[in-house]
Chain A
């Protein structure tokens, strides 16, 4: 294992911020794994720490294949994480909206440039990231429709789903998008937690990455290969939202099989407890995402459901 400082930001009032990379094996730049770009992505750092630990053991057992190397960058935003902020500590910009970066630009552009210089030119890029809305997902590999995405390869993670969505204008500045533009095959892995540690979910993510690296011939790792992933396109999902605000009392959880008409949740008046909206499923299907705030605004998307034919 080689520990390197990929980027160091000088500071007058606090310790410098060091972005570290841990490399295993040598030779071809086979795979790069990036954890937290935002200060609340604690689970993402935790998953990376597990991977660094296990890859270190594999390296000692000579199980990193000859001529292959894997680099893990657990956190690119420790300054925000250390003060409990999601975005950049001074100007609140999002490092994951600054790629490929600019080394003569603003602070977060320089951070992104410093990171990108070190994480690009790999064959595969894997990022653990979080969703902009608070909520829970079925674990999945997420990709953007860029023309470069490789769905079949994404199934090698063995997570239950491979999900593809349309790219929006502001996605062009994410790490994932820029990896793809610069010919790295890029995948975002979503698991359950963000600002807390879920060890089971982390173990699933670690296993998915190791299984993927094994299938690409980068490491030698005998493990359970997970699921035969199902591909879903963003437009196939059925969105369920409410026009009412108040308490969000949830009955259907992630991964639940639901029938058309099943009660998913209720919205209740925060003072009188009166039920102001009953949220029912518009289709037979499986709950892919649900919001998990205790109170919600009106117009909040509450559920995303994968429609299925099964008659249960």
Chain B
């Protein structure tokens, strides 16, 4: 059943609507069912979650008799952004993931943020699916603020991702959807996978397997589920960053999610005008490349890779 959880008038004959689809057990609701919420599309240029929303519902509908709880699917928290290929909220130039928990009496984006929080709160779990950005490719991973690791790591292990990154807390992140929900006791897992403006079907299928495993654990699904893979779990200290020292065109010489040794060639930053190599990039550590630059043009400082020791 499609429901509109917030709607706002746009100036010229148009309503902005935030919608969800609710799937419930065939036998109806007793009032004691748990609810899982799948949200995505906060950043309008991140599309990996769109396929997940579809595929999850397709598989549920194939075995509807196994559904024993509520599944709420929110494909686009920032519909104007997705429609106009804009990362933030068009018209405001705002990153929507810096507005939560929002405010009922605030501006239009703050009002929408508050309605989203109201609707999601009370879920047994919320999965907030992101897709990096157009610049970087990420292996399927869950990112967890160290403050909520005790609650979230056991849930994240079920999600069939390759990697769980427990990061330190930062004040600026207190305005994210995940932080705002976790703080009010609604467990929220942030998934990052793939790359902006694309759909990586393999990753989507992998995450949907994981969502079923989590639903089974929460008592929302009674059917068979695949055994989730065992993720690598790490904290900040084990991650090393490679940033460009020069501007130019980055051409990688490693593959994503492959092991590298200290001194291995990661890639080159080229100058197309002079035909020179501006920077030859080598790994400073043994490890696995879990983030790799996808967009070729780089400036000084652009992130090239993250390596997990």
Report which A residues bind B (CB closer than 8 A).
Answer: 9-13, 86-87, 90-92, 97, 104-110, 132-133, 168-170, 172-173, 239, 241, 244-247, 270-271, 295-301
Contacts and interface: CB of A to CB of B under 8 A. Distances in A.
A298 B108 contact: yes
A105 B243 contact: yes
B11 A9 contact: no
Given A91-B135, A106-B301, A172-B172, A297 B243 contact: no
B300 A9 contact: yes
A106 B302 contact: yes
Interface residues of B, number: 42
Contacts of B87: 92
A137 B192 CA distance: 40
A300 B107 contact: yes
A132 B98 CA distance: 13
The listed residue with most B CB atoms (<10 A of its CB), out of A12, A86, A107, A168, is A12
Interface stretch (B29-37, B89-97, B121-129, B139-147): B89-97
Interface of B: 8-13, 16, 87-88, 91-94, 98, 105-108, 111, 133, 135, 171-175, 241, 243, 246-249, 271-273, 278, 297, 299-303
Q: Tell me if A's interface is mostly helix, strand, loop or mixed.
A: loop
Contact of A87 (B10, B13, B93): B93
B171 A10 contact: no
A245 B107 CA distance: 13
A90 B91 CA distance: 19
Given A12-B248, A92-B87, A270-B11, A104 B243 contact: yes
Contacts of B91: 297
B245 to A, nearest CB: 9
Nearest to A271: B13
Contacts of B172: 97, 169-170, 172-173
Nearest to A173: B172
A271 B14 CA distance: 12
Nearest to B299: A107
B302 A245 contact: no
B300 A110 contact: yes
Nearest to A103: B301
A297 B105 contact: no
A121 B31 CA distance: 61
B271 A12 contact: yes
